Amino acid sequence: MSDLDPHVTRFETRAIHAGQEPDPRNGAVMTPVYLTSTYKQDAPAVPREGYEYSRTSNPTRTALQENLASLEGGAWALGFASGLAATNALMDRLVPGDHVVAGNDLYGGTYRLFSKVFERYGIKFTYVDTTNVAAVERAIEPATKYVYLETPTNPLLRISDIAAVAQVAHARKKLVIVDNTFATPYLQRPLELGADVVLHSLTKYLGGHSDVVAGALIGNDAALHKELAFFQNAVGGTPGPFDMFLVMRGTKTLHVRMDRHCANAMQLARWLETQPGVARVIYPGLPHHPQHELAKRQMKGFGGMLCFELQGDVAAANAFASATKIFTLAESLGGVESLVEVPASMTHASIPAEMRRAQGLADGLVRLSVGIEHVDDLIADCAQALESARKPARTPAKAR
């Protein structure tokens, strides 16, 4: 257990040291990867330091959980095999007839889990624009258990006022869940703004190297921790120890990487705004973003994600995404390398087309996960891909 004081030690120091004391037996600086499924007990039903089976707990997972709790300013954290496994644990607390108010601009996998899995069990969902606090308030029902936010949202990068939503929800004794994957605890601290639980896909920025799939929940309420830990163990969506080790390696450099992600994304967004054929650029750091002032107040930086639309719609978007050379055409985000995708046909294809369009997700929207390469190379890559997208598609010659 780390003895670092979260109120004194700076974020950058806690990222490297919280939960990660040198091994007392041999002085090893890096937390060991405990590749064990079971543990010798001191007597029947007397596990040593509480460890009896690695689905329930594992020392490598414990180290990461303490690290994540420190970074988010929480009392506890729970690790999962993916971000969706973490979301699933939250939903496992609900019973038929319960209700959730959720954002209408969600990661496609979250929407799929809600609509295709938990709706079948009698859980009800209402999707609203969570940037509109009044809309959130109107959607809350007596049966509502959660107000579920992404901020910034995926993919449209809308910013919800966490403190204002929490005030409305808590007045009605509802829990506020915030998916903080895009912002990370380095840029945004939802628990300090009134959220009850923070959710992460650790696969993204916290892992940071596109080599691990994992998730986490972080909070302060002890009773809620006990409930969620029960489902973590009972359902079994837990991560392996090597995955936890990889995420710990990532959190150590989170602050350094996020500074570069933010700087590169801002410079690229400003450049894209000047390019012919670019119809719209969406980035919270741009002054014309609808929630720019809120983002300035609520976040330390604007993140590494940006979106844009091209004149020519989906054909131009597909042409651009297929022509990049440094930006890799791939799903996911938050790694050191830059990625490009077209959400309507990739990460958000599970959301019905009419619902996507109604919430403003155009079929031709391009999403960029801006990495930490040299920004001039990223701009040059986008320039040549834009040029390629502007070229008319070739018509096959008629057979002679």
- Answer whether residue 385 shows pLDDT above 70: yes
pTM: 0.93
Q: With 60 as the cut, is the pLDDT of residue 285 above it? A: yes
257 catalytically annotated: no
- CB 204, CB 334: distance < 8 Å: yes
Q: Which of 55, 112, 280, 390 is catalytic?
A: 55
Domain closes at, from 187, 221, 251: 251
∠ CA 313-373-200, rounded to 5°? 75
Claim to verify: residue 234 and residue 332 sit in the same structural domain: no
CATH number, residue 386: 3.90.1150.10
161, 179, 196, 243: the catalytic one is: 179
- Crossing angle, helix 59-72 and helix 241-251, to 10 degrees? 30
The domain that holds 174 is classified in CATH as 3.40.640.10
**Average pLDDT of the segment spanning 309-327:** 91
The two most distant CA atoms of the chain are separated, in Å, by 85
Among candidate residues 14, 158, 189, 204, the one labeled active-site is 204
Question: Would you call 313 a catalytic residue per the annotation?
Answer: no
State whether 261 and 309 are in the same domain. yes
Give the C-alpha separation, 183 to 181, whole Å. 6
Checking if the pLDDT of 353 tops 80, the result is no
Give the pLDDT score at 8.
Answer: 61
Q: Which residues contact 273 (CB under 8 A, 6 or more apart)?
A: 281, 286
Q: How far apart are CA 260 and CA 370, in angstroms?
A: 9
Measured in degrees and rounded to the nearest 5, phi and psi for residue 166 equal: -60, -40
The answer to whether 158 is a known catalytic residue is no
| Residue bearing the bigger pLDDT, 207 or 353 | 207
Residue 43 lies in a domain: yes
Active site residue 107: yes
% of the chain at pLDDT higher than 70: 94
Contact yes or no for 326/310 (Cβ under 8 A): no
Q: Which of 105, 163, 159, 379 is nearest to 267 (CA)?
A: 379
Give the mean model confidence (pLDDT) for residues 79-99: 98
Q: Does the structure show a pLDDT above 70 at 155? A: yes
188-197 mean pLDDT: 98
Percent of the chain beyond pLDDT 90? 84
Instruction: Give the rounded distance of the alpha carbon of 246 from its chain centre.
Output: 17
Q: How confident is the model at residue 347 (pLDDT cuts 50, 70, 90)?
A: low
> What is the number of structural domains in the chain?
2
Q: Which of 34, 39, 107, 283 is catalytic?
A: 107
Q: Which of 6-10, 183-187, 343-347 has the lowest mean pLDDT?
A: 6-10
Residue 91 and residue 232 in one domain = yes
How far, in Å, are 141, 150, 290, 295, 299 from residue 162 at the CA level?
Answer: 19, 10, 16, 11, 11
